[in-house]
Amino acid sequence: MSDQSQRPKRELLRHGLATIAYRGAKVLRDAPQEFGALKVGETTRSPGQILAHIGDLLDWAFELAHGNYIWHDTTPGPWDENVARFFAGLARLDEYFASDASLGFSEEQLLQGPIADALTHIGQLAMLRRLAGSPVKGESYFKADIVTGRVGSEQSPPRRQFE
């Protein structure tokens, strides 16, 4: 990347990805076996469909980072494969943001589009976990040990969880 003044924005995007990984790992960890197929209404997406959509968002962000406005809808696969795709998509995107490669769209557009949307859908999964009878404890995410570059399923335990 030729303009070093843009580096702080890239690092903030990377921290956003680490935040998605942290929150995503929390909501995906120990999900009930049948969780991916849960339907709470005729017009709502199942958790499996939401997770596949998040994977599509991460793929789209990667394409946008390369300057390509390309979107693909993926048919949800088995839950474990969708989970693996989620973390692989975060890792691939984080690696690109960590590089000096130029971005095809602005950091602001990447944040306001696919990255913010992915975070929103993580919240939907958390809500669906509660509806499925397997709630995820809330916590003070402000105090969470979220580390830029840590985008895998292995995350720090919560520092301050609510009962």
* Residue 43: CATH number of its domain: 1.20.120.450
1-9, Cβ contacts within 8 angstroms, sequence gap of 24 or more: 1/99, 1/100, 1/101, 1/102, 1/103, 2/102, 6/107, 9/107, 9/108
- Number of structural domains found in the chain: 1
AA letter at 41 = G
Give 98-112 pLDDT, tens digit per residue. Answer: 999 999 999 999 999
In-domain check, residue 132 = yes
Whether residue 122 is contained in a domain is answered as: yes
Whether 151 is in a domain gets the answer: no
Per-residue pLDDT at 81 exceeds 80? yes
Query: pTM of the full predicted structure?
Result: 0.93
pLDDT in tens, 6-34: 689 999 999 999 999 999 999 999 999 89
> Does residue 156 fall inside a structural domain?
no
Does residue 150 belong to any structural domain of this protein? no
115-152: per-residue pLDDT in tens? 999 999 999 999 999 999 999 999 999 999 999 999 99
Residues of the domain holding 90: 4-143
Domain assignment present for residue 56? The answer is: yes
CA torsion sign for 32, 51, 27, 134 is negative
Whether 13 maps to a domain, the answer reads yes
Residue 32 belongs to some domain of the structure: yes
Upper half-sphere CA count for residue 96 (Cβ side, 13 Å): 20
Helix ranges, 29-162 (H): 47-65, 79-98, 107-110, 116-131
Mean pLDDT of 42-58: 97
Residue 123: per-residue pLDDT: 96
Tokens of 147: 């580390």
Residue 158 has what pLDDT?
A: 86
pLDDT of residue 35 exceeding 90: yes
